[in-house]
Amino acid sequence: MNTNPALAKVNNLIVGLVSAISFLVPWFFLTITYEFFEFNKIYLFIVIVCIMALMWSAKMILEKKVGVAKSPLDLPLILIITSYALSSMTSLDRTASLFGSYGRWFPGLFVIVALYIFYYLISTNVDSVKKIKAAVWFAVTGSVIASILGLINYFGLVLPLMGLQNRTGFLVSGTSYATASIAFVGAAVALMLSLNSKQAAQKLVCSIILTVNFIAATVFGGAIFGIALLTVVAILVLKSQEEDVQKSKAFLFPTAGAVVMFLVLFFLVPQTKNILQRNYPKEVVPSVQESWIISSTTLRDFPIFGTGASTFYLNYPRYRTLDQNYTNTWNIRFDKPFNELMNVISTLGIFGVIAYGIFIVVSVKLCMRSIRVNDPYRSLALVLTAGFIASLVLMALTYASFQSTFMLFLFMGLMTAETVVNTNKNWAKVAVISLSSKTQEAGAIVEDQQIIYRKEILHYIVALPIVALSVFGIYETVRQYIPEYYVRKAVDFAAIQNIEQSYDYQSKAIAANPNRSEYHRLYASTNIAVAQSMLSGESVSDQQKTAAQNLLAQAIRNIKYITETLNPLDPANWEARANVYALLIPAAADADQFAIQAYNNAIQLDPTNPILRVSLGGIYYGKQDYLSAGNLFKQAVNLKSDYANARYNLGYALYQLKAYNEAKTEFEAVQSLVQVDSEDYKRVTADLEQVKILLAQSAAAETKPSVETIERAASTTDQPTTPAVQEPLKKPGENVPTE
């Protein structure tokens, strides 16, 4: 045993940071960046991993030896990180593949490498059962804190002095699925801690944690999470020793009763179901069918390495089906599929699928081997296996968030560390290369002395790249973090109408990181807004005109850069470009042609989106090309027949073409699609009355109803439904989206 006090302090610091990050990840957030939650969790984690890696390097130097945990998981992990690296090299959006798509910061190669290093830091340096247990308890405690705060917010309870926490929808884990995922793993681990704890107080605490996390997983994840968690819990109980189960009956049965009672009240009893299932803002994802169609079609077109990590946001608009236009989420461009398995298929391709397949097979086999050994460590092995298996199950339930993937790597590392500590197991060990041995043979030749010399400096050679990688990680963290801080400041100043300060901070964000399309889109829209403000006064000086022209030119440069150079495959960029040119139509003679071209490019990248066609039709309508406008509005109606605004615009185009009967039909259709007595209903009714007057004045007015009117009347008679949620009605030319 090494008695070096400095070495002991370094090792304790590494282990202490493992426990600290395990506790913080479930609930840590900061309000100084644009996105409060996942972004800050990721970069806190990366900084801590970099610090731990520096300490590991110091430990190598103090010990004068290099040690690293080796296990059957090494090959699958190498394959996974290689799949991320290769897919990033061939990615449709390299920035997203390296650092995550904007607002969805996971996964990205940068954080995957950090997780990979984190695994080896844990498995190599957590060298006692006591330290492993401490990390587990910190992780479970962090999970229940996130669950408690989430449930308090869900049920509308108010915490004093916590303004943000009391806002509806504010979840410290980030999203509803992230909260459910953390709770899912926390519940599985708490169950095994309860079964394998010797003290009654610990069993009681674990039972409470299990109950709270189970409720949170069900509330935020839905029935599928509840069913999956019940299944995992049942399997874990069956795999536990009968003696442990018998000793825990006094706690197990009340916990099971509380969970079952909640499930019955939450899902089955109408009186409580309506109260408990609140109208709470939850995350939505595409259906299983829609996700599979998009993932499989993407695999067909990008078979080997996929489109790149975190590029599902590009695949969804390109491959989504027409059926999606008849769901409540028809106007959302999803950036995540239903679950992580489909995300891997879509973004990492066949190579990624094989890598993850090998990883899952090897992981399950190792879990079975780990709990099969009947020794004093078996109870701890069951606890760690529960966390690891629960994290794997989440890949089938939902997409991988940073929080859930962190839990996977945490328990995988702790499980490997337990195997290293446990001499009864042999599937993992720390491979050590001694760097202090010297030859004792007399007359050693020069070549042997050179080998010895290399050995004596080998720990420095190994530590140096680790130090360099850690420094680079901290540098890149600062580089990615600063622009997000600037964007938050820009948003805050915009909220108080301080456009000048907002503009300055947006400029700083782009200067700090020019590779994010979102920064340029926001900057372009701000340039347009400021220019319009300058030109809106009654008397505009030549200096103001010049300044406004410069701002407009800057907006055009930014929007052209993101569409032609930075990310030309993102339909949102082309839509933003079309919006900029549409706003310039009153000031520039050829702006309408540039807007038309941009909308056509957006439509090619998002072909089933009816909104783009309505917007493009509005440009033609403004040019008084009513026939082209009407054709585009009709295409939008064909894509989504219950799209009220498309029909409303089509009605106006037909009105201008003097096709009053057809215009009347469209306005009547709009009436049936919007809420009665709403402002939209009053608006279309007035338009309809105007058309009826014109029809009455026309001798050729047709009294027979159209086939579509008959069909619509029959369908509403047979099956009365409430109108779908619609966007506000806008006349052609009013429907250009704004940033």
Q: What is the pLDDT of residues 92-131, one digit of tens each?
A: 999 999 999 999 899 999 999 999 999 999 999 998 999 9
Confidence tier at 710 by pLDDT (50, 70, 90): low
**Cis peptide leading into residue 254 (ω within 30°):** no
10 Å Cβ neighbour count for 483? 23
Output the CA angle 229-365-310, nearest 5 degrees: 65
- Closest Cα to residue 221, out of 291, 282, 287? 282
Note the maximum CA span of the chain: 121
Residues 52-59, mean pLDDT to the nearest whole number: 93
Is 192:367 a contact under the CB 8 Å cutoff? no
φ, ψ of residue 273 to 5 degrees: the values are -60, -45
Residue type, position 525, single letter:
S
* Alpha-carbon distances of 460 from 58, 64, 124, 457, rounded to whole Å: 9, 9, 18, 5
- Per-residue pLDDT at 436 exceeds 90: no
Res. 449: pLDDT tops 60: no
> Mean pLDDT, to the nearest integer, of 333-353?
96
* Predicted confidence (pLDDT) per residue in 300-342, tens digit: 999 999 999 999 999 999 999 999 999 999 999 999 999 999 9
Name the 3-class secondary structure at 197: coil
Residue 247 clears pLDDT 70, i.e. is over it: yes
User: CA-to-CA distance for 628 and 97, rounded, in angstroms?
Assistant: 40
Assign 3-state DSSP to the chain and report helix, strand, coil percentages, each to 5: 70, 0, 25
Res 275: pLDDT: 85
In the chain, ranges of CATH 1.25.40.10 domains: 609-739
pLDDT digits (tens, 9 = 90+) for 26-48: 999 999 999 999 999 999 999 99
Output 289 or 161, whichever has higher pLDDT. 289
Place 499 in a pLDDT band, splitting at 50, 70 and 90. confident
Q: What is the rounded average pLDDT of the residues 3-29? A: 91
Residue 479 has pLDDT above 80, yes or no: yes
What is the reported pLDDT for 723?
A: 56
Amino acid at 205: V
Q: What are phi and psi of 733, to 5 degrees?
A: 95, -20
Which helix or strand (DSSP H or E) is residue 66 part of?
Answer: strand 65-70
65-87 burial, b at 16+ Cβ within 10 Å, e below that, comes to bbbbbbbebbebbebbbebbbbb
- The tokens for 44 are 């806190």
Task: Please give the pLDDT value at position 447.
Answer: 46
pLDDT digits (tens, 9 = 90+) for 565-595: 999 999 999 999 999 999 888 878 889 999 9
What pLDDT score does 548 carry? 84
Whole-number Å distance between alpha carbons of 53 and 47: 10
Tokens for 718, please give them.
Answer: 């047979």
Q: How far apart are CA 61 and CA 53, in angstroms?
A: 13
Q: Which helix (H) or strand (E) holds 434?
A: strand 429-434
Contact at 8 Å (CB) between 211 and 140? no
Identify whether the C-beta of residue 551 lies closer than 8 Å to the C-beta of residue 533. no
Q: How many angstroms separate the CA atoms of 209 and 183, rounded?
A: 9
- ω into residue 586 within 30 of 0, thus cis? no
pLDDT averaged over the chain? 88
Task: Report the percentage of the chain scoring pLDDT > 90.
Answer: 65
Give the model confidence (pLDDT) of 251-285 as tens digits: 888 998 999 999 999 998 988 888 888 889 999 99
Parallel/antiparallel/unpaired status of strands 429-434 and 65-70? antiparallel
Q: How far is CA 562 from CA 106, 504, 506, in A?
A: 22, 20, 15
Question: Superfamily assignment of 609-739 in CATH?
Answer: Tetratricopeptide repeat domain (1.25.40.10)
The pLDDT assigned to 246 comes to: 85
* Mean per-residue pLDDT, 634-648: 95
Phi first, then psi: what are they for 69, rounded to 5°?
-70, 135
The predicted pLDDT at position 296 comes to 96
Amino acid at 712: R
**What per-residue confidence (pLDDT) applies to 439?**
37
CA angle 492, 495, 496 (to 5 degrees): 100
> Could you tell me which residue, 527 or 700, shows the higher pLDDT?
527
Examine the pLDDT at 731 and tell me if it is beyond 80.
Answer: no
| CA atoms of 223 and 709, how far apart (whole Å) | 40
